[in-house]
Each structure stands twice: as C-alpha cells, then as structure tokens.
Amino acid sequence: MSKLNIFLADLEHNYNKSPHNAMPYAIGLIASYAKKIFGDKISIKLFKHPEKLIEALKKERCDIFGGSTYVWNSRLAHLACRTVKKNNPNTITVLGGPDFEKMPDLKKEYFKRNEYVDLRVAFEGEIAFANIMKFQNGIQLDT
C-alpha cells in the first residue's frame, strides 16, 4: 500500500512583500502527532504560501488536505479546498480553526454553501485529524 499523502496549510496572503514571521504552529502540531501515530505510513507536507501549495497540487497526489482557518485567512483556506477538489474530487478536505459557526442550523448552511469542505474540526485538531486519517482512509495501526 502506498503512503497516504497529506498536505497541511496555514496560508498567508502574499500581497505584503515583507516576510510574515508567524510559524505555522497549529499544523506543525497536527503533523507531528500524525507522524508519531502513523510513522512511515504517511507523508506530510506543510504549506504557508498559497502559490507553493497550488504548485504542489499540480505535481503530486494529495489524499487529505487540512487547512487552518482564522479570520485573516479563511478565504484562502476555502480557495485551497476548491483548488484541491478541482484537481481531485476524491481528496478529503478538512478545515479547522476558531472561525466556525456555533449554531447547528448555521453549520448546516455552511456545508451547503461550501460543498468543497468535507469536514470541520472544532477545538484542538491533533486527535481529530488522526481519527479522520484512520477512519476515512483505512490506515491500520500496528498496536
């Protein structure tokens, strides 16, 4: 069985030429936890710049895309999900972050408006994302 290819992104806008010094901490934690659990069964790439993500999507298979969303980059994360689905409709798209609807009716409306987003993760994402990888793609654990 080939490795599961995972792309994780905490995207930033590129209109400002000065480098943004924020480290993609949240997706780094998710990647680290996933590697600890699944080891060599997965391959993970992290992205901060939208153009590098788009370039990688053109060249490589992406089985699961995970995006970190905040008020300042939510539209970029949604654009990434649309691009991912355009390249491969079978890729699972997952977004997580604090800017998600709280009321059940609004959550349903969100998924109707954003059909390119398969799942949203609330709160901390490490365990949730590992469970998504396990159950959505049938990764078998040795333990």
Comparing C-alpha atoms, which of 114, 73, 64, 124 is closest to residue 94?
Answer: 64
**What pTM did the predictor assign?**
0.88
Q: How far apart are CA 54 and CA 44, in angstroms?
A: 16
Q: How far apart are CA 18 and CA 111, in angstroms?
A: 35
| pLDDT confidence of residue 25 | 83
Sign, Cα dihedral of 9, 128, 62, 45: positive
Decide if 102 contacts 96 (C-beta within 8 A): no
Comparing C-alpha atoms, which of 32, 125, 114, 129 is closest to residue 79?
Answer: 114
Domain boundaries in the chain?
A: 4-74+98-137
| pLDDT confidence of residue 143 | 39
Q: How far apart are CA 82 and CA 89, in angstroms?
A: 9
| pLDDT confidence of residue 137 | 58
pLDDT averaged per 10 residues in sequence order, the chain, 143 residues: 89 70 82 93 94 94 94 92 95 90 90 95 85 70 46
Phi and psi angles of residue 33, each rounded to the nearest 5 degrees, phi first: -65, -40
